[in-house]
Structure 1
Amino acid sequence: MKIYNSILSQIQLGFYQAGDRVPSEIELAEAFNVSRITTKRALDMLAQQQVIVRKRGKGSYVAWQNQLAEDQPVDVTEEKDASPRPIRKIGMVVPGVANTYGLEILRLVEKSVRQRGDVVLIASTDGSLAEEAAVIQRTLDAGVDGLLMTPVNGQHYNEPIIRLSLEQFPIVFIDRHLPGLPIPGVYTDNFAAAKETVAYLFERGLRRIVFVTPPTRGTASLEQRLAGYLAACAEFGIANAEQMVIEGDHYHNAEQLLEKLNEVEGDAYISSEHGVELVVAEWLANQEELDKPRICFDYPKSSYVDGEPSVTHIQQDEATMAKTAVELLYQLIEGEKMEAFQFLSPYTLIEGKSTKNLAFDGGNTS
């Protein structure tokens, strides 16, 4: 292997001394005009032979000074390397895990990686940008070969994510896509899903459809759900749709959200998150109007009663999302180049008791 032999020879000749940094994967790829996976394999082989020490995020350093004679032949090829592939470490960084969404993705990612003979290191950022940066560095220091992550919602990208992208480090987003960064993202088509919820209600004769959501700015999934709602309203000729949108922080100020609900009169309600749906249901119960149709996103299966959901909802396909993300990450680890960076995962509208009594009329206004 040309790169392996070149570095080893330079160490033997004393060009690199113990503790010196050797060229990085990217520098070697440019110097030898090969893919990064080829240079990674060469450095991994040197590390396996304890010639160098690899420090994730910092570089590779000479571990010892080779005492072989300069004229001793060095001939190491990929064909002669019969050593087993080292166990890979896959990092998984998430903002947190909710009962309504995320647990299944974690379980399936771990299973998929384990079936490949590798391990997953899972870390939570608690939804903090500062903690996200620290967690990313810790996973890199732990020597992960690739990273699966759901970035924290926000209006700005975290610096470590931008740096990893520039360094072409294998990374795949789950349930996110950050425009402008060449990082593959696997996520649900929230725009189409929101449009389908409006169509479902419209085709059952409802026109005053209220959309209730946490603040959407900086949260791509919520922004797409709101955009889908407004697009569907425009398509169906529903007037004043913007006035039927209620944004409020149900986590920290549920009372304010309840007050806003009092200001808008609706015939049906779409909640962009299950937590919002709980507030809407409480408010309708207090108004003695709990029979009004409701739809939400990410309703937990643990809330099903006798196998039936109480609320009609959009169910994301966590299995497909996890499987696709893992497959993409391993492709990147193996050095494959991505030509596309957006991978849409399917979803399903599951009917529940909250719309059970609605009759389909095809949207007939007569």
Structure 2
Amino acid sequence: MELPLYEKIYLDLLNQIETEQLKPGDQLPTEKELANQYQVSRITSKKAVEKLVQIGAIERIRGRGSYVSKTIPDLGTLDAKSKSAQRDLPEEEPNGLIALIIPDFFKDSFGRSIMKNIEKRCAEKSYNLVVKLTYGSQEEEDEAINTMVQLGVKGILIYPVNGQHYTNSILRLVLEGFPLVLIDRYLKGIPVCSVYTDNKKAAQNLTEFLFIQGHDHIAFVSPPEEDTSSIEERIQGFQSAYLQKGIAVSPDLLLTEMFSTLPTFEKSDEFHEDLIKLRKFIEENSHVTAFIACEYEIASVLAHVLKSLGKSIPNDYAIACFDHPGWFYNDMIFTHIKQDEAAIAVTSVDLLLQQIKGESVPVKNMVEFTLVEGNTV
């Protein structure tokens, strides 16, 4: 098996000490300089230096740097042990910890399969998974990140809270080169590895499907889109489908004030408010015959309101959405975008493990989707 990058750097520096290219008392390059020299992250070069400290090959002097020890250990014995370790090395380090930080318990409609496949993939790679909830709070997210770093996790998977640009803790992890992957969305202006569905294309395809079915006036319903890339891109895809028909989207067709599905709000109060907003929107936009809901739970609330108004689905109104828990939840199967949760999970873990090994990874990683026809259009 191939050695991790930090192990290769460690062995190279050890060889330089053994051959006296680096002599006792010589100062080592800084971790930043080593990272640039070997084209790796600072955390990778740091791990290599820490291993040299552990065997006594170098010593650190606070405020001055790292120096080759004046009393060198038996490098021949160490080299033999390293070669033996290389022969027996597993694909990944065993018994390491990976953190998964999420806003709330994943829903059946989206996320539960992601969590299941993340745990499965971590187990396949001999890593243990530790999960922390943030309940949609940026403060809790900051605290969770700090806790996981102190716990000694090798890397962190984060499903960011809605409506954030970035937290200080995420920015710090990025600047330090700590292995990190964002799930379901990306953060603008922050070069951090992210894995998510091609939301713009998916929303455009869903809107075009409704156009083909004969609906000329389609509305979009979602939580607030500000600083939540997945919602923003779905709105962009919805608008793009209209523009393809040569029609500018009226702001009246966008209702982006649904709160009852967010983890930060009291469900009973916000659910009642959402019912009122939807009823008012339907009554004021009688020309609308189809809706795209940003998520399954909003589609369910919308269907409830339409039925309370004596409307039939799909005869009077069509509803399409993102994600669906399956037929066993309801005889109403929404036409929906099915995200590939297994691919999102496996890709996220694999990209995180590449970073743990010191490898560079792409920043934006989009996963394909499927449009599933139901009985609501």
- Confirm or deny a common fold (TM above 0.5): yes
Give matches, 1:202-281, under 5 Å. 202-238=211-247, 240-251=249-260, 252=270, 253-254=273-274, 255-265=276-286, 266-281=288-303
Secondary structure, counterpart of 1:354 in structure 2: coil
Aligned equivalents of 1:199 and 1:81: distance in 2?
57
The aligned amino acid for 1:262 is E
How many residues are treated as equivalent by the alignment? 332
The aligned amino acid for 1:241 is S
Q: How big is the shift at 1:69?
A: 9.1
The match for 2:191 among 172, 179, 182 is: 182
Q: How big is the shift at 1:310?
A: 1.9
The aligned amino acid for 1:352 is G
Aligned to 2:366: 344
Give matches, 1:291-306, under 5 Å. 291=313, 292-301=317-326, 303-304=328-329
Q: How big is the shift at 1:100?
A: 1.8
Aligned to 2:3: none
Aligned to 1:321: 344
Q: How big is the shift at 1:274?
A: 1.6
> Identity of paired residues, percent?
32
Q: Which runs of 5+ in 2 are unaligned?
A: 1-10, 59-65, 261-269
Matched, 1:95 2:95: no
Can you list the C-alpha shifts for 1:168-211, whole angstroms capped at 9, x where unaligned? 11111111111222211110111111111111111111101111
Aligned equivalents of 2:193 and 2:248: distance in 1?
37
Aligned equivalents of 2:110 and 2:31: distance in 1?
37
The aligned amino acid for 1:146 is G
Secondary structure, counterpart of 1:92 in structure 2: strand
1:185–1:168 CA distance, 2 compared to 1 (3 A): same
The match for 1:285 among 307, 322, 339 is: 307
The aligned amino acid for 1:258 is R
Q: Which moved more, 1:70-79 or 1:327-336?
A: 70-79
Aligned to 1:43: 50
Can you list the C-alpha shifts for 1:236-261, whole angstroms capped at 9, x where unaligned? 13455332112222412212333233
* Bigger share in helix: 2
The match for 1:121 among 111, 127, 130 is: 130
Secondary structure, counterpart of 1:79 in structure 2: helix
Aligned equivalents of 1:354 and 1:197: distance in 2?
13
Determine if contact 2:239/2:248 at 8 Å carries over to the other structure. no
The match for 1:173 among 153, 172, 182 is: 182
Can you list the C-alpha shifts for 1:89-137, whole angstroms capped at 9, x where unaligned? 1111111222321111111011001011111111111110000000001
Aligned to 1:150: 159
Q: Which moved more, 1:315-324 or 1:177-186?
A: 177-186
Q: Which runs of 5+ in 1 are unaligned?
A: 16-21, 53-61, 63-67, 356-366
The aligned amino acid for 1:244 is L
Aligned equivalents of 2:278 and 2:108: distance in 1?
22
Determine if contact 1:94/1:125 at 8 Å carries over to the other structure. yes
Secondary structure, counterpart of 2:231 in structure 1: helix
Aligned equivalents of 2:324 and 2:193: distance in 1?
27
Aligned equivalents of 2:328 and 2:225: distance in 1?
26
Aligned equivalents of 1:23 and 1:137: distance in 2?
29
Q: How large is the RMSD of aligned CA atoms in angstroms?
A: 3.4
1:70–1:160 CA distance, 2 compared to 1 (3 A): same
